[in-house]
Amino acid sequence: MLVRRAQGGDRAAFDRLTRGYRGMVLATAFARLHDREEAEDLAQDILLRAWTKLPALKDPVLFAAWLKTIALRTALNRATRRPPPALSLDEVAETRACAARDGDPLARCLTQEHQRAVYQALSGLPRENRLVIVLHVCEGFSCPELAELFATPLTTIEGRVHRAKAQLRRVLGDDIYHRTSLGREASS
């Protein structure tokens, strides 16, 4: 089995094993960073981290889920350490041009401000709450899945989700909060 051989230090086995997962790793990195070059660099870091941690994987059958978890955690950590991207004057001009073409420039500006506010609110959450809420809402993990993933009691995960939502609602205000997927999830 490739996983066992890779755990034993066989680099070629690891390369063959991860060949089918490189797309998922790159997509996970890009989804968090929104920059192709940075995502490619991070994908390499993720695979290197997986290579160094592979001997600790207890059940080879769980390799795919284990690798996805490493990719998610690493990408989230990198994304939360980055400051929000600043818009250049060219990007502002392009945004205004797109908004003019698309009709309502005010709505376009409000959408960008809304996204920036949500990003800043998320970055202000405690790390554990931020990680859990992003995985729960954006990646679709259920609370029981998160409890298993983090080897944490279900009630702790549910508490983190609840606290993160409450903190975001306080920071964003009801109007913006209810326009996010968090607010739509809570009302459904």
Provide the domain limits for residue 34: 1-82
| Cα–Cα distance, 26 to 178 (Å, whole number) | 31
For residue 53, give the CATH number of its domain: 1.10.1740.10
Among 54, 38, 46, 47, which residue's Cα sits nearest to residue 6?
A: 54
Residues 76 and 133 in one domain: no
Considering only residues 101 and 111, tell me which one the structure prediction assigns the higher pLDDT.
111
Residues 55 and 129 in one domain: no
| Cα–Cα distance, 26 to 10 (Å, whole number) | 23
Q: Which of 50, 82, 114 is the last residue of a domain?
A: 82
pLDDT at 111: 60
- Judged by DSSP in three states, 111 sits in helix
Among 114, 117, 115, 159, which residue's Cα sits nearest to residue 136?
A: 159
Residues 3 and 78 in one domain: yes
In a domain, 98, yes or no: no
Considering only residues 184 and 150, tell me which one the structure prediction assigns the higher pLDDT.
150
Q: What is the pLDDT of residues 146-166, one digit of tens each?
A: 787 667 899 999 999 899 888
Sign of CA dihedral 125, 131, 132, 137: positive
Counts of helices then strands in the chain (DSSP H, E): 11, 0
Q: Which of 32, 62, 82 is the last residue of a domain?
A: 82
Q: In what helix (H) or strand (E) does residue 74 lie, and over which residues does it extend?
A: helix 63-81
Does this model's pTM top 0.85?
no
Q: Which of 82, 113, 148 is the last residue of a domain?
A: 82
Indicate whether 86 pLDDT > 70: no
Q: Count how many domains the chain has.
A: 2
For residue 178, give the CATH number of its domain: 1.10.10.10
In a domain, 92, yes or no: no
pLDDT at 154: 93
Q: What is the pLDDT of residues 43-84, one digit of tens each?
A: 899 999 999 999 999 988 888 889 888 988 898 888 777 654
